[in-house]
Amino acid sequence: MTQLANENGARHQRGRLTWKYFWGWVVCALVAELLAASLGLSYGSSSFGIARIFDVLLGGDALTSSERMILWFARFPRVCFAAVVGGALASAGVVFQSLLRNPLADPYILGVSGGGALCATVYIALGGMLWMGVWGLPASAMAGALLTVVGLLLASRWIGGGKMGVYALLLLGVVFNAFASAVITLFKAIMSAQKAQELLFYLMGSLSVEGTPLGVIAGVSVVVLGALGVMMYYANDLNVLALGDETAASLGVEVERVRLVSVVAASIAVAVAVAYTGLIGFVGLIVPHGLRLIVGSDCRLLIPLSFLFGGVFLLLSDVVARAGFEVFSMTLPVGVVTALCGAPVFVWLLRRSFLTRRGIA
């Protein structure tokens, strides 16, 4: 048995997943996300109160016309992106952790974020291509992330003699991230102060997507939900892969196909997140790991729960980021908040994981 298959203590082990257990957790997650979204819509430089938000959503007129403008054109896109991006990062984290058989793996470990950040850096350094308009930066980041995934998959197959090696993919991702970081640092050193500031803000992660057209929000949501559907389709195969490639193959799993399609689907979800919000860390690490300690390692439940609770985590982090306006006279980058909140939580989860395996907790 691998570490991922054995990491939960006896009290976290479940028998066959039942619909009642599955939907019970999903409903709890949906309620939590609804409350977090309501808080995100109501809180800011102008606080409306959750009760007034619910009144408006139900067709009431509790807000003035200016407050409605703030609600629908500033906060609604921000909340939508927080929910979708948080879900994309967390659900992709489950897939990467399952494929790499390491519950502490991060979605960015395969170099997806490094590729997106590198292409975004090049775009900013060149001053942006006017003909691309507002689509320039996200398009560049998404293209860089996806091209990186394709390149790493081809390289891992070449190294593995035609098969996609897990460890080769992992090491290639680490090396590429180091390379991308060095190139980004070089660009920051030679570009103007204004462009360096713009790049820094992007690299810290931001949900400042006010005024984003609803069509863009819908498009991002469709892509992420499509990737989520693919990940859910292969959830049971991912469970079997945790036992090892040979065991999975003997049980009828097409190891190479499952691994390739799952990596591509998870990478697309992360690429969309990187494209529009920059680099936001820890969501894909602590949300899946924390849920795994509570509900177990069954990907059929873990993937949808991570999607929903990933949205909750990022929504609450964004509320904290906006609360920083009262102290710093500016909204903090949400990537900074997730790192500050995520690091101590991760240490606690790591300690709990070790104690659980030793039968102490």
Residue 240 vs residue 46, higher pLDDT: 240
- Per-residue pLDDT band for 361 (boundaries 50, 70, 90) equals low
pLDDT tens per residue, range 310-357: 999 999 999 998 887 677 777 788 988 998 888 888 788 778 777 776
CA distance 19 to 40: 31
Q: List the Cα angle 48/51/52 in 5-degree steps.
A: 50
CA distance 262 to 49: 41
Total domain count, the chain = 1
Residue 352: give the domain boundaries: 3-357
Helix (H, G, I), strand (E, B) or coil at 112: helix
**Mean of pLDDT over the chain:** 84
Residue 184 vs residue 159, higher pLDDT: 184
Please say whether the beta carbons of 99 and 248 come within 8 A: no
Cα-based distances in Å from 234 to 120, 121, 273, 300: 32, 34, 22, 9
CA distance 189 to 143: 24
pLDDT tens per residue, range 272-289: 888 888 889 889 988 998
pLDDT tens per residue, range 185-230: 998 888 888 888 888 888 888 888 777 778 888 888 999 999 999 9
CATH, residue 24: 1.10.3470.10
- Per-residue pLDDT band for 91 (boundaries 50, 70, 90) equals very high
CA distance 148 to 151: 5
Q: Which residue has the tokens 């949808």?
A: 304
CA distance 314 to 14: 28
| Residue among 301, 303, 262, 283 nearest 346 (CA) | 283
